[in-house]
Chains A and B, each alone.
Chain A
């Protein structure tokens, strides 16, 4: 177990591309930290510098106050799980999970190894498949093997790079809960790289949102979702994207009266469809499209030529072309400065 400190870390690739720019992050001991951002934001480069696969151009990384940028990857005591599970397909699940212990010199006795393999198999949910050849398993179970293989050597830091992105949706939902629970049980520091905001929100204690090599915000899921620092973070997190409207379209929502150069950010679930003559209707809109998702609908509206999405229960589904009023939970309106994109 270890804490990670990233100090003004910069990575510039030949040709002048700055993949990571002066990044500062503190990952406390035992926490589950997600590096979240779109492709090309620098999250994988950051992780590669933590693992030692890339050397930073400048800056330093500390594990428990020890600088490690000049330590070789093999000596950093870091465990990996990648998107493409790295396992030995010709070996049994048992031998795959036990491999890291076996090759370690001066390690555990055979009986101790056996007990440890059993314990890890139990944690990752493979107790019933220990004798099977890893190559014969489902894609889902192969990823569990990869997880177990990394866990057994008890790395100080666990790095996971989009480990679930090749798995089907139902299994991803299952593994999200399992991994979070596993992390709580083993208490190891985990850094989890993902472009999927649902994974970051649901599992992590803290999320570092990156874009174009720059850290946008570092905070708890609650802070990232409810108090985004800027328009990028606000728009990136949330399963249906936040609506952005010029404040001039709804001056009643501008609490300090400032309308010029201000954009309002309103999450689709903070809006509600009401009759046009309802006193709560702050905006008038027409229905462009209805997307039924099962438990809820996403209703696409047009407000003075601008798209607005509302998440609504499917019970009173409007029809395309209907005129509707839009009510808004005014306490849940975010405001952004158009110059800086920062939250006001």
Chain B
């Protein structure tokens, strides 16, 4: 078990900068997730930790040992890739034992370790089978077992669930989290799936085009996103943005939209915009409330029933705003409605998408006043 630290790591491939000055620290025993779109540099980050890539700049540490120049095989870090490479002609037992045999581990020790890993992963009954006779989830467990069997200092997982179908993914998500808690090992987990990141992680690092955007607990990423990109990357459907203009009156700040205005009551005055600045008001779909009678006028563009809830796409002054509503609310295309936004859940971003204020449960934004 060990903590991992990256200090100012930059990795280039020709003219492409895959990682751009990334610094982060993974705590010992933590489930740490790197979240980002395809091409964000997530896999390069893992490959740099395990030693398959050498950074142009910066260093990698495990605990306090600098391992930047240590040979991958000597780093004692295991990695499991998206495409599980199990040996098709070997039984599960032999697949699990393989890394130990390579390391010339004594036979009784191999047996002990294989039995232990099989018990943890609940695959004892599969030990005699060949990979072709296993289900997708079982193969996943075996691959995980093979990564765990040498008892590495840290376990790196690269999109391990993305090849599984939806139901199995759901099951394996919970299973992986349980396992990590049980064995207490440091896990660095890479995914493009925000649900996996939110549901499993102790902390999440959001990566965009090689640049680290934010490192925080899942609630922090969700409720206090550092910028517009982070706000969009978590949450389903993603956060809505409404264009507003900052109006300075007295010592206070008012945000004016075509259809409404709201005063901001934030102690973080330094971060607030100047008079006349264009800003974006961010609101998550679950914090948009559809009512009839009073509020901000909107019309129903389309409805998307999901079963347990319904996404309503609303036309608000020519911009689409998605709201999550109860499925019993009968709305159809073209309906005129009114909406209100939860003032304790609003976010303010500057023109470039940098986060200025996030309410995160505090009523920082006053009640919205319709302008018509």
Contact = CB atoms under 8 A, between A and B. Distances in A.
Interface of A: 38-39, 168-170, 173-174, 176-177, 180-181, 184, 195-198, 201-203, 221-222, 225-226, 235-241, 267, 269, 288-289, 291-295, 298, 300, 311, 314, 320
Interface residue range, chain B: 35 or more
Interface stretch (B59-67, B116-124, B126-134, B297-305): B297-305
18 contacts: A38-B165, A39-B165, A169-B193, A173-B237, A202-B304, A202-B305, A222-B305, A225-B307, A267-B308, A269-B308, A289-B177, A291-B174, A291-B198, A291-B199, A293-B198, A293-B199, A294-B218, A298-B199
A30 to B, nearest CB: 15
Given A195-B166, A292-B199, A295-B324, A221 B236 contact: no
Contact of A177 (B194, B305, B313): B313
Nearest to A176: B304
Contact of B178 (A197, A267, A288): A288
Contacts of B301: 177, 181
Contacts of B167: 235-236, 241
Contact of B306 (A198, A226, A311): A198
Give the interface centre of B174, B178, B200, B233 by most chain A CB atoms within 10 Å. B174
- Per DSSP, are chain B's interface residues mostly helix, strand or loop, or mixed? mixed
Contact of A169 (B238, B308, B322): B238
Nearest to A226: B307
Interface string B212-247: 000000110011000000001111111000000000
A177 B304 contact: yes
A122 to B, nearest CB: 14
Nearest to B286: A295
Interface string B173-189: 11001100100000000
Given A180-B302, A184-B333, A293-B198, A237 B307 contact: yes
Nearest to B234: A294
B238 A170 contact: yes
A190 to B, nearest CB: 14
A300 B174 contact: yes
B307 A221 contact: yes
Contacts of B371: none
Given A202-B304, A292-B199, 13 more contacts: A170-B233, A173-B238, A173-B311, A176-B304, A181-B302, A201-B305, A221-B305, A225-B305, A289-B178, A294-B198, A294-B234, A295-B286, A295-B324
A141 to B, nearest CB: 15
A236 B37 CA distance: 27
A170 B198 contact: no
B84 interface: no
A310 to B, nearest CB: 12
B348 to A, nearest CB: 19
A292 B218 contact: yes
Interface of B: 37-38, 165-167, 170, 173-174, 177-178, 181, 192-195, 198-200, 218-219, 222-223, 232-238, 284, 286, 301-302, 304-308, 311, 313, 320, 322, 324, 333
A168 B238 CA distance: 11
A195 B38 CA distance: 21
A198 B236 CA distance: 11
Contacts of A169: 192-194, 236, 238
A202 B165 contact: no
Contact of B165 (A168, A195, A294): A195
Contacts of B333: 184
B258 to A, nearest CB: 21
A197 B320 contact: no
Nearest to A235: B167
Nearest to A204: B305
Contacts of A38: 165
B238 A201 contact: no
A177 B310 CA distance: 12
A239 B306 contact: yes
A56 to B, nearest CB: 26
Give the interface centre of A196, A288, A293 by most chain B CB atoms within 10 Å. A293
A237 B306 CA distance: 9
Contacts of A168: 37-38, 192
A185 to B, nearest CB: 10
Nearest to B196: A291
A170 B232 contact: yes
A201 B174 CA distance: 25
B104 to A, nearest CB: 38
